[in-house]
Amino acid sequence: MSAVILHGRTVVPGVAEGEALVSHEPISGWGGIDPARGVIIERRHELYGVCFTGKILVFPSAKGSSGWAGFFQTTRLTGTAPIGMVIGRISAKSALGAVVTRVPAITDLDADPCEVIDTGDWLLLDNSTVEVTKR
């Protein structure tokens, strides 16, 4: 399979390689994830019950409570964090969230990452680029 390379802006510098977990809907932190298990718990969410631990989380934006970053920081402290973030549109919540999760993160891509990337695709997130290998 040929790879597609997306270009964007570095949010948190670094390199991460792994499987994509794509959400087409914004993600809530507080009330949206259980940091003890690394699972999305918002009942109305397309990824309800899905675990993001060890995945590169691809999502359009952060929504909801200002506890967003604190909850994702807790995933780092409890070992349930994603290994990278591809963020469609940055906000204070997701920027701080990526910083305190301390995982490579990218935004402002030259194509909509939630359309180009599918769950299960293999990603190489390298600072300001994402190499997408279709599963």
Is the CB of 51 or the CB of 90 nearer to other proteins? Answer: 90
- Of 129, 89, 127, the C-alpha closest to 7 is 129
Taking the complex as a whole, the smallest distance from the CB of residue 11 to other proteins amounts, in Å, to: 5
Q: Which of 61, 65, 91, 128 is catalytic?
A: 65
DSSP class of residue 50?
-
Taking the complex as a whole, the smallest distance from the CB of residue 57 to other proteins amounts, in Å, to: 15
Q: Cα–Cα distance between 66 and 94 in angstroms, integer?
A: 10
Is the CB of 49 or the CB of 120 nearer to other proteins? Answer: 49
65 is catalytic: yes
Taking the complex as a whole, the smallest distance from the CB of residue 125 to other proteins amounts, in Å, to: 15
| AA identity, residue 114 | C
Is the CB of 106 or the CB of 121 nearer to other proteins? Answer: 106
Taking the complex as a whole, the smallest distance from the CB of residue 23 to other proteins amounts, in Å, to: 14
Does residue 6 contact residue 124 with C-beta atoms inside 8 Å?
A: no
Residue numbers at the binding site for other proteins (CB under 8 A): 9, 11-12, 26, 31-32, 36, 41-43, 61-70, 73-74, 77-78, 89-93, 95-100, 102, 105
Q: Cα–Cα distance between 15 and 66 in angstroms, integer?
A: 27
Is the CB of 32 or the CB of 117 nearer to other proteins? Answer: 32
Q: Which residues lie closer than 8 Å to 15 by C-beta, 6 or more apart? A: 104, 124, 125, 126, 127
**Residues identified as active-site:** 65
